[in-house]
Structure 1
């Protein structure tokens, strides 16, 4: 803040663009301070409060387990498994997704994050997630897996559409110890409790094993109904960026045995890679 006659007179001459920039920066700083202060209050007042001093985490290679349910989480809440695949520069996006899921979960259910990543990214995930577990009293568990593609055409699968995006097609064989997962693309941000999506599993009938949203809502703007050169699901196709997957049922269906013939037949017509393959499969099933 400026004081004194000469200084005040000099300050008056700065009105215009310079003063506008100064006011903008001042407002920006104050807004940032208020947001940080609000976040700290929310953290201290319930989002991340609960058990402390849980002792040493049990661990295996690139896997960490927390204490399970929090004191203020529902005692009958089932664990929610969230899967994300990270390659190249996508690891920062994946970490942001994980943070948003933790923040908006509000201890409604225990979370397990399943990260499938390139080997050079694993240690970075371990360091970040271990730090967050300590800061937040181990309110989640996690495990990290290496990328796994069929030996035949491995390089093609890895590069299909986006780097490593096709990994979701092979989650049933990779995660044989998990019954169901919520797969999300690395650029996903949660703005509500994950439980709201997870609860949709209860609406599945006896034969359904996956849940996705339509690719578009308007036929006039739809991509599949206007441009696709292959079969697709329903009127508008489905978007696989957020996908509920009952892995047990997918294994019983022999999911991957259906995927391979589709890829061989339509490989030259696939624009959106693995999402197109999923659309073709659900067109027929």
Structure 2
């Protein structure tokens, strides 16, 4: 009957490879097949998408065999970030929305059963890659903090599937994300080196480390001020460049490890316990549902 192609992105660490969501509608025994190395969370999208389309008032193609291919097939797909792209692909293949814009757009978002869009993790790496392709992005309104950090990227904020439909039909345009000045957000308050009394040799080592971008190792018994000195290193470092700020924001975006926009581009001091293993210190482990390592 019809074939539609929609673009979105996977999440592998802090990288966001392009995924082409190909939706084919064919006559035959009704069914919904998904291929392309999808994980269980991705396969469950068939039920979420079908229910969301029907509850949002759209026509779910009757007596139709739906095949969704997530290409390239050798990239593992996890999470619910593909829901919106799959739903848009079904609507485009069934002729309910125009497909003229789909080549210049990417879609991200998890669908609730009501058709509402929920936030997804790892949006900043996806938007940075989307910007390189010069495409516009449709993102959940709950991700507006992250969307505003990526400069020169047009991102439309959608609350639900219906609002995306109205925008694509040019009935009711979506709100575009507002740029956030990450340079103002990157300031952190970890203390001032002037607060440290004594420890002149350690303070000079901090200054040399910050000026020359050298590694620094503090060794000593508990209570001698190692952590206090380390916390004040961030106040000596120069302002973040845009590339550095986006690298920090990408890591926090992947792990949902932030509270508010101001925390996305702040340098942080990590204080691992002294009993942690070498593998734990460098980030060993398995990937969980939020792609943490």
TM range (shorter): under 0.3
- Compute the TM-score of the two structures, normalised by the length of structure 1: 0.25
- Relative to its length, the structure with more helix (as a share) is 1
